[in-house]
Amino acid sequence: MKAKFNGKEINIRKVGILTGGGDCAGHNAVMFGLLRRINQANQSLPDNEKIELLGLFEGWKSLTKDPAKVPVDQIMKPLNRADLEDSFKEAGTIIKSSRTNLFSKASVEKELPEQAMANVKKLGLDCLVVLGGDDTLGAAGKLGKQFTFPMFGAPKTMDNDVYGTERTYGFASAVEESLHFLENITTTARSHNRTFVVELMGRHAGWVALYAGIAAGAEVVILPEEVVALEELFARVRKAMKAQGYSVVVVSEGARLFDKRYPDKINKKNQELLDAVLADPKHALVKARHEMPKKKDSFGNEQLGGIGEYFYSLLQKHVPEYEYRLQVCGHAIRGGIAHMEDRVLGLRFGDAIFDFMKQGKFGVYPGLKADEVIANDLLEVKGERFIPDTNQLYKMRNAVDFY
């Protein structure tokens, strides 16, 4: 297909597509949305302009493999309708993913961006479509600019924290799966007069915990965006237990006990309360976790998980009159099926990418604004779209406050 790029006419025959970062629902739908338009266009395009969609395995990692040394079928494969007509309804990614960072300090020193682009040319690719969060899309923007190469992106993340779109695909399905989990937990909590602490994924933005917690009727929702005062948490749990005999506390994995933006008084009090837990032999596992060094991925993001265990132990220690259980949802909420909203949003983004390609709008990623798909500059992509304290749901999040 002929298109205008950088002031020149190019013929896009081979389109490479990859999925980077964590998996989530909607990846396969984006691929299918793009493939449908490609198949439609191929019905009328001349033979020398027909387009092929090629799935690159394991994200950016695929482009670190030299096709002269590694069999091409271990790097990529042609995608067709049979691959995607059913799998677009599923979560995950049929072409696999990785957290490879082409622009980490070590990667740049090894000249991985140059190697990646050299491998793109060896594979005969005319264009790249990159599906991922702000880290993955940021790398796409840098690579496209540095080597003047046709590039597109699509914003995924179950955290829903990428700017330029009101929704990222992956979010709605994560909320639905979390909601189902919380509803099941609530019946058990009610049956045994317990408080359950449930940890949900959500790095620095707590959208999943906020939506799922409110929809499930959780008594307490703790977010990364808020100032966490442990004494307020204890009071809320006591209030719920006295009123109804059970409660569910939803904790986003990015929530913190201490933060430089917290008032000194709260940091100090939280530290005193935690120190009492760490000094108690009954909570040796929490102490061991607390002393472990923090791991980071290739993009410098701290690998989270475990904050729910802190809140669980703090409640056991300081509100001992009730019975507690801890549940960590973990990666389960990323998997299973792609729920309706992510299927449709993924299909829309894939469809829009073809339109951008046809119109010569390169270096962009689609976003949703007032139910319209818009084009955003890949060079301006950024994450950390946090929940503002003016958000209506933010104010509604602790159901026990309304008792």
- Which residues are the active-site residues? 159
Q: Among 99, 115, 87, which residue's Cα sits nearest to residue 19?
A: 99
Check: CB of residue 40 under 8 Å from CB of residue 118.
no
Could you tell me the maximum CA-CA distance found in the chain, to the nearest angstrom? 76
Check: CB of residue 62 under 8 Å from CB of residue 54.
no
Residue 334 one-letter amino acid: R
CA distances from 256 to 1, 121, 241, 306, 320 (A): 51, 45, 24, 11, 22
CA dihedral 111, 113, 115, 117 (to 10 degrees): -150
Check: CB of residue 181 under 8 Å from CB of residue 393.
no
Check: CB of residue 214 under 8 Å from CB of residue 267.
no
